[in-house]
């Protein structure tokens, strides 16, 4: 990846002549089946550009209550686009972050002068706070179709879309064919240092390019970074299966530690994330950090562990041993 970055021909993307960014944008648009794509610094900017390009102040977005756009984007839908969000619950018996098509019609506002305008549906796949959840294809398709029937623009927060595709053994297009816009991150499991892309219809991407400049995301010789993302798309997608196997390995090991409780049974670990409950997540993560094992306290009593291309099978075994020792301490 570093060699690819060093070899990348460079230009100025703000002036519109950055060959390595143009190559990445064409590659990601073709891979996901969209007319156009826009390279941006982060997944947050990508989601927010979709919202800003589609919605007006006073509009409402329908999304799962645990969505990244609600919890981790600093209130940007309100701050940057003046939007409200209608939060959907997880139906009984479903994995975290998933909802049913039938929940959408009751979430739509009446069209009169009192109500916000229901404008956009956001699905997240895989779903981060939900537990690295992979949307089943049939439920995903049904939710997208219902969102469109109800007049909503359907946006996919596909920060980890490739993890979802690899987990199901399908092409990413199986998901993206059903949405209007999609954000994908290269800087997570795909292992590039920086960047995400917003994909969609050409006209919408032209509009998003203008807002990217407004939000301060216009970058100049960004081909250096885009080359890493192109490399990641070419070389790091199929190997996500290794991360998923490592996550299961971690979950099986953690399941043997009696004082902690896994969010899902080890063999049901959906992708590259393992969530477990302990009495004090922050204190445990501090103890793990001292031993060189990094996990995140996602909630006061819930820890998130993520596997990725820098984590090997023997790292997993060491992590299990370190957690076992830390929970005893
Ligand atoms: C589902 C999801 N969407 C968007 C983002 C935002 O990405 P970034 O950190 O690049 O802004 C993340 C980051 O973890 C995420 O998990």
Q: How far is the CA of 302 from the centre of ligand 1 (A)?
A: 19
Residue whose CA is at the smallest distance from ligand 1 atom 3 = 159
Per-residue confidence band for 71, with pLDDT thresholds at 50, 70 and 90? very high
Cis ω for the linkage preceding 126 (within 30 of 0) = yes
C-alpha of residue 130 to centroid of ligand 1, in Å: 13
What is the structure's pLDDT at 329? 76
CATH architecture type of domain 240-328? Alpha-Beta Complex (3.90)
Q: Is the pLDDT of residue 299 over 90?
A: yes
- Determine the distance separating the centroid of ligand 1 and the alpha carbon of 240, expressed in angstroms: 17
Distance 207 CA to ligand 1 centre (A): 22
Centre of ligand 1 to C-alpha 171, Å, is 21
pLDDT in tens, 130-156: 999 999 999 999 999 999 999 999 999
Q: How confident is the model at residue 111 (pLDDT cuts 50, 70, 90)?
A: confident
Q: List pLDDT tens digits, range 200-219.
A: 999 999 999 999 999 999 99
Residue 8: the pLDDT is: 98
Sheet holding 181-185, edge to edge: 36-40, 196-200, 181-185, 153-158, 117-124, 59-64, 84-88
Q: Which residue, by CA, sits nearest to atom 4 of ligand 1?
A: 43
**How many angstroms separate the alpha carbon of residue 198 from the centre of ligand 1?**
13
Query: For the chain, what are the domain ranges?
Result: 2-235, 240-328
pLDDT in tens, 227-275: 999 999 999 999 999 999 999 999 999 999 988 999 999 999 999 999 9
The model's confidence at residue 328, banded by pLDDT at 50, 70 and 90, is confident
Query: 287 CA to middle of ligand 1, Å?
Result: 26
- Average pLDDT taken over every residue of the chain: 97
Residues with CB under 6 A from ligand 1: 42-44, 47, 68, 124, 128, 157, 159, 185, 187, 196
Q: How much is the average pLDDT of 275-287? A: 97
Across the range 42-71, mean pLDDT stands at 98
Write the residue with the smallest CA distance to atom 16 of ligand 1: 128
Q: Do domains 2-235 and 240-328 have the same CATH topology?
A: no
CATH class of residue range 2-235: alpha beta
Residue 227 has a pLDDT of: 98
Taking the CA of residue 187 as reference, the ligand 1 atom at the shortest distance is 10
The residue nearest atom 7 of ligand 1, judged by CA position, is 43
Residue 67 CA, closest ligand 1 atom number: 1
pTM: 0.97
- Return the best residue to mutate from 135, 188, 198 for the ligand 1 pocket (most ligand atoms within 8 A of CB): 188
């Amino acid at each position: 990846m570093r060699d690819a970055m060093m070899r990348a021909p460079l230009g100025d993307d703000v002036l519109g002549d950055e060959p390595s960014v143009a190559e990445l944008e064409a590659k990601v648009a073709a891979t996901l089946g969209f007319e156009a794509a826009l390279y941006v610094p982060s997944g947050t900017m990508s989601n927010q550009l979709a919202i800003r390009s589609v919605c007006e102040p006073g509009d409402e977005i329908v999304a799962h209550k645990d969505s990244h756009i609600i919890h981790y984007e600093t209130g940007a839908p309100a701050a940057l686009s003046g939007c409200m969000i209608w939060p959907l619950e997880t139906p009984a018996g479903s994995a975290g972050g998933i909802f049913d098509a039938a929940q959408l019609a009751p979430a739509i506002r009446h069209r009169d002068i009192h109500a916000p305008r229901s404008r956009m549906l956001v699905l997240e796949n895989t779903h981060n706070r939900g537990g690295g959840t992979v949307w089943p294809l049939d439920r995903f398709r049904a939710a997208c179709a219902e969102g469109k029937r109800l007049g909503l623009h359907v946006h996919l927060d596909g920060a980890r879309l490739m993890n979802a595709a690899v987990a199901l053994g399908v092409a990413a297009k199986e998901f993206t064919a059903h949405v209007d816009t999609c954000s994908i991150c290269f800087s997570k499991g795909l292992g590039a240092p920086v960047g995400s892309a917003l994909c969609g219809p050409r006209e919408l991407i032209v509009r998003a390019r203008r807002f990217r400049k407004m939000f301060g995301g216009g970058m100049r010789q960004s081909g250096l970074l885009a080359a890493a993302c192109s490399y990641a798309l070419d070389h790091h997608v199929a190997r996500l299966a290794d991360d998923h196997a490592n996550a299961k390995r971690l979950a099986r090991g953690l399941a043997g530690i009696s004082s902690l409780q896994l969010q899902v049974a080890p063999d049901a670990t959906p992708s590259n994330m393992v969530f477990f409950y302990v009495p004090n997540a922050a204190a445990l993560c501090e103890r793990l950090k001292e031993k060189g094992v990094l996990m995140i306290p996602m909630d006061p009593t819930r820890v998130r562990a993520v596997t990725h291309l820098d984590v090997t099978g023997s790292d997993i075994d060491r992590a299990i041993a370190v957690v076992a020792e830390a929970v005893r301490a």
